[in-house]
Amino acid sequence: MSNRQSTALVIDCRQVTRTYSEGPETLTIFSDISLEVSAGETVAIVGSSGAGKTTLLNLLGGLDRPSSGHISICGQDIHKLSEAGRARFRNQHLGFVYQFHHLLPEFTALENVMLPCVLGGMRPGQARPKAEALLTRVGLGERLRHKPGELSGGERQRVAIARALVNNPECVLMDEPTGNLDEQTGEGIRALISELRDTSGTAFIMVTHDMSMARSLGRVLRLEQGRLVQEA
C-alpha cells in the first residue's frame, strides 16, 4: 500500500439536494449540501433518526443520484459513467459498509470478503490471504468458514467492514458500522481506521450515533433540518 497524495479530494459534493416525490407532494430530505473530503481525512456524520444520513451516504457512494447538484468521487463524476462503468469504479475506489450489512447468505465470511477482489479480476489465491488477514484483524480469524446466518450481529458487521477494506479503496463510507459492537471491539475498529488513514491515506466517512467515536475521528458534521453543519 502506498501513501496517497494528501491534497487530493476523494469526495467533492457540491450543492446537492435530494427530494422524494410522494404523489403530489415533494419531500425534501436536504438541500444545497456541500462537502469536500481529502485523502487521509476521517469524517463523522451524526444526526437524529430520519435526518437523511443514509440518503447522503448513498449519494456520496454513487448508489443514488442527487435531485440536483454534483458529486465527484476521486475526480470522476460518477453519473457520467455507464451502469457497468459505475459498478467497476465503485469496486476499485470505494468501500461501503451498509447499515444492514448486505452479506451474501450462501457464502462464508471468507468468501464474502474475497468477493470485491475477485470481482475486480484478482485470482482467488491472491484474494484469500488478504481477506484472511483482514478478518483476523477484525477479530474473526476463527470464523472464516461461517456463513452470515451462523454469525452474531456484531460479527456480521465486522465481516462487512473487512469486505469494505479488502480492495484498499481510496474512500470508505460506513453507515453505523459499530452500532452492534461492544466498546472494546469498537475501539479495535477505530484503531484500524486510524492506521489505514495514516499508512495508506484512506479517507473514511462514518455515520454514527456514537459521539465518542465521532469525536475520535476529528471532523464531526451534523445533518439537521436538511443542512449539514460542522459541530463545535
Ligand X SMILES: Nc1ncnc2c1ncn2[C@@H]1O[C@H](COP(=O)(O)OP(=O)(O)OP(=O)(O)O)[C@@H](O)[C@H]1O
Which residues contact ligand X (rule: CB under 6 A)? Answer: 20, 27, 29, 47, 49-55, 99
C-alpha cell at 58: 448513498
157 binds, options ligand X, Mg ion, none, Cβ within 5 to 8 A by partner type = none
Starting at the earlier edge strand, list the strands of the sheet with 94-97.
Answer: 94-97, 171-175, 203-207, 42-46, 219-224, 227-230
- State the Cα–Cα distance between residues 154 and 211, nearest whole angstrom: 19
Stretch that binds Mg ion, among 27-35, 51-59, 182-190, 193-201 (CB under 5 A): 51-59
> Nearer Cβ to ligand X, position 188 or 226?
226
Considering the complex, what minimum distance in angstroms separates the CB of residue 30 from ligand X?
Answer: 9
Task: Say how many Å lie between the first and final Cα of the chain, rounded.
Answer: 34
Q: Which stretch in 50-58, 74-82, 130-138, 145-153 sits in contact with Mg ion by CB under 5 A?
A: 50-58
- In the complex, what is the shortest distance from the CB of residue 174 to Mg ion, in angstroms, rounded to a whole number? 11
Smallest distance from Mg ion to CB 222, Å: 14
Q: Is 178 in the site for Mg ion (CB under 5 A)?
A: no
**Which of ligand X, Mg ion, none is residue 121 near (CB under 5 to 8 Å by kind)?**
none
In the complex, least distance from residue 73 CB atom to ligand X, rounded to whole angstroms: 19
Q: Is the CB of residue 19 less than 8 Å from the CB of residue 28?
A: yes
Is position 42 an interface residue for Mg ion (rule: CB under 5 A)? no
Q: Pick the closer one to ligand X by CB: 8 or 35.
A: 35
- What, of Mg ion, ligand X, none, does residue 29 touch, CB below 5 to 8 Å by kind? ligand X
Using only C-alpha atoms, what is the Rg of the chain?
A: 17
Site for Mg ion in 66-125 (CB under 5 A): 99
**AA identity, residue 104:** L
Nearer to ligand X, 22 or 142 (CB): 22
Q: What is the secondary structure of 148-180 as a DSSP string?
A: GGGS-HHHHHHHHHHHHHTT--SEEEEESTTTT
Cell of residue 123, nine digits? 485470482
CB of 18 to ligand X, least distance (A): 8
Q: Report CA 17 to chain centroid distance, whole Å.
A: 20
At closest approach, how far in Å is the CB of 228 from ligand X? 12
Contact 25, 49 (CB under 8 A): no
Whose Cβ is closer to ligand X: residue 54's or residue 178's? 54
Verify binding: residue 54, Mg ion, rule CB under 5 A: yes
Residue 128 grid coordinates: 484469500
68: helix, strand or coil: strand
Please give the residue ranges that form the binding site for Mg ion (CB under 5 A).
Answer: 54, 99
